[in-house]
Amino acid sequence: MNAPLDKPMPPLPARRDVRGDVALFAVVASLLAVGVALVVRLGSPQLSWWTVALAATCSSSCGLVGCYLVLRKMSLLGDAISHAVLPGIALAFFFTGQITGLPILLGAMALGVLTTLLTQTLRDYGNVPEDTGMGVVYTGLFAAGVIMVQLGARQVDLDPGCVLYGLLDFAALDTTSVFGVEVPRSMLTLGVALALTVAFIAAFWKELKITSFDAGLATAMGYRAMLVHYLLMAVVAGVTVASFEAVGSILVVAMLIVPGATAHLLTDRLGWMLVWSVVVSVLSALYGFAISSWLNVSVAGMMAVVAGAQFALAVFLAPRHGLLVKWVSSVRLAMRIVGEDIVARLYRSEEVAAAGAGGSSMAVTSTAAAVPSPASREHRATVWGRLRRAWAAWGLVNSGLARRTADGELQLTAAGRQTGRSIVRAHRLWESYLERHFELPLDHVHEPAERMEHFLGPELQTQLAEQLAEPVQDPHGRSIPPS
Amino acid sequence: MHKHLLPLADSLVDAISHRTLLLVQHAAHALGVEYNTLLVLMTAALLGGLSGVIGCFAVLRRRALVGDALAHAALPGLCLAFLVAGVRSVPVMLLGALASGVLGILVIVALRRWTRIKEDAAIGIVLSVFFGAGIVLSSWIQNSTVTGNKAGLDSYILGKTSGIQAIDLVVVAVASLICIAIVAAAFKEFRLVTFDAPFARAQGWPTALVDLTLLGMIAVVVVIGLPTVGVVLMAALLIIPGAAARFWTERLSVMTLLSAAIGLTVGIVGAAASAKIDRLPTGPIIVLVGTAVFLISATMAPRRGAISRWLQGRRFARRIAVRRLIGELYEAGPDTNRDAWRAGERRAAWSEARRRGYVESSPHGNQLTDSGRAAALAALRDERLWQTVLVEYPELAVGAADPFHAVAADVLPKSVVDELVARLQAAGRWPEELRTLVSPGGSR
């Protein structure tokens, strides 16, 4: 049979509750609408929309690959790569004089894969722990990149500030004509990056999924986990480099990790996680732009802050994994247990009273001695404990399990008696079960049973009774009430 | 803050920094260097040495990237402190940085404890969101306050030596004294917790307190390093000396001192280079110098360095090849098994064996010398012993050493060896000395 359960069993998952998800959809939709309205109100529309579109495109592609980084517990590799591509950007810029285009993309991808390779080489051949190796590799590369940019800044127009924090506003101004429409030059790069990211995910959907969730299984099934790993790293590097002009090479980390992590809190399905990460990215772009143009502060920084705020909201309010939901359900459980304890206590005292009337004084004394006296526990109770009990009692009266007598005492109703019987039955069955199958000494069976009684429903009770051949008495010699 | 306390503290700080200024000026005069140069070099050197000591433990205890998160998370506090104080007051700004850095660490801990977010994502989120907030605040300060441009907040991102004042040196010196005193006083505790925390906990040592102290010291080092090295690369100064020192030694005490020395050197060289070339921010230069030291350590260090490891591997392969060659010659004669060797391998083994005097080319052909025969016999016996030990007493073989590096008779208990030899002899499986030499051409 099962191992002894020293922790209460979690309640079986309830039927999928969609109310939280519906609320989530509603909140997100209204947030989107408000964000659009804000952007419409602020700034010149033409420019604003291109800026927002740039920001949204860049952070969406980052958010999409970021989901996989978060799932694979490789967020920091994303951080490392986004720093390490800087020398690649600088080099390609010195040779081509442009900060967009294929050479830069290729250079950055090469450096992204190089970072991973170097870290792994240090780990495998130098016995350097992975985090330390990563710390050395990416800071070294980043430092080299900064110095190259600084030294090169004199000859060419590569602004260190732009590289570090991005210049979204100016990126939107630098336009080119596509089929007669004025489009910001970097929109082309970012659009291509987004398209490539989506294509990559679509093409390697199955491979990415299986290697992300179970790399060992993937390898055993014949997928090349390492190949997928390096491909993903190359895509991360490409996305990073496409985005650096808009958000800078440091804040791109926020765009990579925060939407994915937020989405991870909102759902358990990979497909939805990708969708939510895009939503978070778009909201970051909208609100980040709106607030920053209102306060006249850095757009990229504000986008990171807005993303962080969404993450904080998700931490507290997410439908299934939010702290609030967890807290409410644990309070509910605690209240149910307190209420059931009261009902069981009332049932036991009725039992004792009936036995006393029946005249078997032996049984009464032994029962009274074995059951920890509720009075003594009440005596030790804190203010919080009393408050909790009062609340639970009120709940019992409210749900018709108990009623107040004229002098304020709680008394079980017929329904309450039924519940109490079931709980006491569960308690005593479990004590018998523990005694029979685990050979626990008599003074050790009460405590676990006191916890298990709240989680043994009618079905489990029947099974237990069958296993124990319909016992009539528990190990302490008290009768087990019929179901 | 109390309205009398702030001016008092300020005047105290002023007095101290003035004394330091005079001291450094005297020293600079005596040494015949510029005041500013000496100040910068002293600050950077102390900072490097201190982060070397603390970073040594940070690396070993796997707290390297926590330092990174802390450094990034310090930026908003720095800016807020400037906004609140209204002036560029170093102690106030460092306190602000410390507060928000520690807040960032707490958020990481809380996320890991209460949500399904893993540590790596938590670090990344805190690092980037706090840094974003810092950038927002810094751009707000520069755009909307009169003193904004004088705040020098930019210098905190990549570090700048020109901004260093006497007070910075005082802060670094005081922090160094305190931290080094702590490390020296609790070295045993730090060593224990660093290498085997569960054991330390089981032994009743206050592991949590030691970890907390380490984290606190990391926070202090990171924050005081911000003005010099900058937010982005401060973590590197923490990681690199420790990681580089690790290649050279297996002893923690030596590693700590070495790490301090590396940090000190890196600090001096980096600051000097940055002071020479005006436009270069200090952080990246220091980190590049550090990376160079790390690379040299990773390649050149004896025993743990890449070159040394490669040589060790080659030497090992040769030793095994020679052993295999003389074993074959001894047991089966010159020309057997030729095809089982990889191309060129046998020839290399031959020349190595000849160098060691195990084989000779005689008029009769190539054959084992007397010493080669003895070595072959010893090797075969050792091999047979190890085989038997692995089968009969695997528990001995696991702990003792691995069969490729140690001689069984040296590392195993004598009673076991004697017993096994006796059993092997009884079973006729113990390699005996050859009574009759295989004649040189005999096996053809």
The pLDDT of residue A366 is 42
* Tokens (6 digits) for A15: 């039927």
> How far apart, in whole angstroms, are the C-alpha atoms of residue A453 and residue A423?
6
For residue A132, the chain B residues in CB contact (below 8 A) are: 59, 62, 64, 239, 242-243
Contact assignment for B121 to A256 by CB distance below 8 Å: no
> How far apart, in whole angstroms, are the C-alpha atoms of residue B236 and residue B288?
10
DSSP A153: T
Amino acid at position B45, single letter: A
- Is the Cβ of B241 closer than 8 Å to some Cβ of chain A? no
The residue among B133, B121, B65, B119 whose CA lies nearest residue A263 is: B121
Q: What are phi and psi of B118, to 5 degrees?
A: -80, 170
Burial B3-35, CB ≥16 within 10 A → b, else e: eeeeeeeeeebeeebeebbeebeeebeeeeeee
> How far apart, in whole angstroms, are the C-alpha atoms of residue A446 and residue A426?
12
Contact assignment for A257 to B128 by CB distance below 8 Å: yes
Residue pointed to by tokens 């309450």: A416
Contact assignment for B232 to A250 by CB distance below 8 Å: yes
β-strand partners of A404: A410
pTM of the predicted protein model: 0.81
| Pairing state between β B365-368 and B359-362 | antiparallel
Contact assignment for B132 to A140 by CB distance below 8 Å: no
> How far apart, in whole angstroms, are the C-alpha atoms of residue B381 and residue B363?
30
Strand segments (E) across B240-308: none
The pLDDT of residue B402 is 65
Contact assignment for B284 to A300 by CB distance below 8 Å: no
Burial class of residue A129 in the structure, from the number of CB atoms within 10 Å of its CB (0-12 exposed, 13-18 middle, 19+ buried) = middle
CB pairs under 8 A between A and B: 194
For residue B64, the chain A residues in CB contact (below 8 A) are: 129, 131-132, 135
Q: What are phi and psi of B442, to 5 degrees?
A: -60, -35
Contact A35, A55 (CB under 8 A): no
> How far apart, in whole angstroms, are the C-alpha atoms of residue B334 and residue B340?
13
| CA angle (A461, A466, A471) in 5-degree steps | 85
Q: What are phi and psi of A412, to 5 degrees?
A: -70, 140
The pLDDT of residue B290 is 93
Q: Is B86 left (phi over 0), alpha (psi -120 to 50) or beta?
A: left
Residue A409 distance to chain B (closest CA, Å): 41
Distance of CA B430 to the CA centre of its chain: 47
Residue A295 distance to chain B (closest CA, Å): 8
The residue among B264, B293, B269, B270 whose CA lies nearest residue B282 is: B270
For residue B290, the chain A residues in CB contact (below 8 A) are: 140
Residue of B nearest to A301 (CA): B132
B254: number of CA atoms within 13 Å, CB side? 8
Count the Cβ atoms, other than its own, within 10 Å of residue B253.
10
Residue B239 distance to chain A (closest CA, Å): 7
The pLDDT of residue A362 is 41
The pLDDT of residue B145 is 65
* Tokens (6 digits) for A407: 């002098």
Number of H helices, E strands in chain B: 19, 2
Contact A340, A393 (CB under 8 A): no
For residue A307, the chain B residues in CB contact (below 8 A) are: 129, 132
Residue B47 distance to chain A (closest CA, Å): 18
Contact assignment for A261 to B117 by CB distance below 8 Å: yes
- Is the Cβ of B306 closer than 8 Å to some Cβ of chain A? yes
For residue B138, the chain A residues in CB contact (below 8 A) are: 298
Averaged pLDDT in 10-residue chunks for chain A of 483 residues: 49 62 83 80 68 89 94 87 82 72 75 84 81 87 85 60 67 68 78 91 92 87 86 88 77 91 92 94 90 85 93 90 90 89 88 71 42 49 81 87 83 87 89 84 84 86 84 81 79
The pLDDT of residue B5 is 62
β-strand partners of B361: B366
> How far apart, in whole angstroms, are the C-alpha atoms of residue B293 and residue B265?
10
- Residues 6 or more apart in contact with residue B130 via CB below 8 angstroms: A308, B72, B73, B75, B76, B100, B104
Contact assignment for B306 to A250 by CB distance below 8 Å: no
Helix-helix angle A102-126:B306-332, to 10 degrees: 60
The residue among A332, A251, A310, A280 whose CA lies nearest residue A82 is: A251
> How far apart, in whole angstroms, are the C-alpha atoms of residue A434 and residue A2?
11
Contact assignment for B279 to A150 by CB distance below 8 Å: yes
- Residues 6 or more apart in contact with residue B392 via CB below 8 angstroms: B420
Interface with B, mutate which of A147, A243, A313 (most B CBs under 10 A): A147
* Tokens (6 digits) for B328: 């074959």
Contact B443, B335 (CB under 8 A): yes
For residue B120, the chain A residues in CB contact (below 8 A) are: 73-76
The answer for B 30-49 residues in CB contact with A (under 8 A) is none
How large is the C-alpha radius of gyration of chain B?
A: 32
The pLDDT of residue A5 is 45
* Tokens (6 digits) for A192: 């291509």
Residue of A nearest to B59 (CA): A132
Out of A132, A143, A256, closest to residue B291 by CB: A143
* DSSP per-residue string spanning B26-43: HHHHHHTS-HHHHHHHHH
Contact B392, B420 (CB under 8 A): yes
The pLDDT of residue B76 is 93
Helix/strand/coil for A175: strand
> How far apart, in whole angstroms, are the C-alpha atoms of residue A59 and residue B138?
22
Contact assignment for B132 to A302 by CB distance below 8 Å: yes
B2-5: long-range contacts at Cβ-Cβ below 8 A with a sequence spacing of 24 or more? none
- Residues 6 or more apart in contact with residue B74 via CB below 8 angstroms: B97, B98, B100, B101, B104, B134, B222, B223, B226, B231
| CA angle (A211, A215, A219) in 5-degree steps | 95
* Tokens (6 digits) for B428: 């006729």
Out of A127, A143, A300, closest to residue B233 by CB: A143
Residue B363 distance to chain A (closest CA, Å): 46
> How far apart, in whole angstroms, are the C-alpha atoms of residue A80 and residue A116?
9
The residue among B191, B185, B179 whose CA lies nearest residue B251 is: B191
> How far apart, in whole angstroms, are the C-alpha atoms of residue B392 and residue A91?
62
The residue among A232, A206, A205, A235 whose CA lies nearest residue A221 is: A206
Out of B123, B128, B137, closest to residue A258 by CB: B128
For residue A300, the chain B residues in CB contact (below 8 A) are: 132, 135
* Tokens (6 digits) for A458: 């009618």
Residue B329 distance to chain A (closest CA, Å): 35
In this predicted model, what pLDDT tens digit does every residue of A306-328 receive, in sequence order? 999 999 999 998 888 889 989 99
* DSSP per-residue string spanning B271-286: HHHHHHSTTS-HHHHH
Residue pointed to by tokens 């526990």: A377
Total length of chain B: 444
Residue B219 distance to chain A (closest CA, Å): 17
Residue A321 distance to chain B (closest CA, Å): 7
Contact A286, B111 (CB under 8 A): no
The pLDDT of residue A169 is 66
Residue A171 distance to chain B (closest CA, Å): 18
What are the angstrom distances between the C-alpha of A72 and each of A58, A66, A236, B114? 22, 10, 13, 20
| pLDDT tens, per residue, chain B with 444 residues | 455 666 677 777 778 888 888 888 888 888 877 888 888 889 999 999 999 999 999 999 888 888 889 999 999 998 898 888 877 677 888 899 999 999 999 999 999 889 989 888 999 999 999 999 998 998 888 877 665 555 567 778 777 777 788 888 888 999 999 999 999 999 999 999 988 889 999 989 999 899 899 999 999 999 988 888 888 888 889 999 999 999 999 899 999 999 999 999 999 998 888 877 767 778 888 899 999 999 999 988 888 888 888 898 888 888 888 888 888 888 777 666 667 778 788 888 888 888 888 888 777 667 788 888 888 888 888 888 888 888 887 777 666 566 667 777 777 778 888 888 888 888 888 887 765 554 444 443
- Residues 6 or more apart in contact with residue A423 via CB below 8 angstroms: A340, A343, A344, A347, A453, A454
The answer for B 90-119 residues in CB contact with A (under 8 A) is 111, 114-118
Residue pointed to by tokens 């590096």: B405
Residue of A nearest to B121 (CA): A75
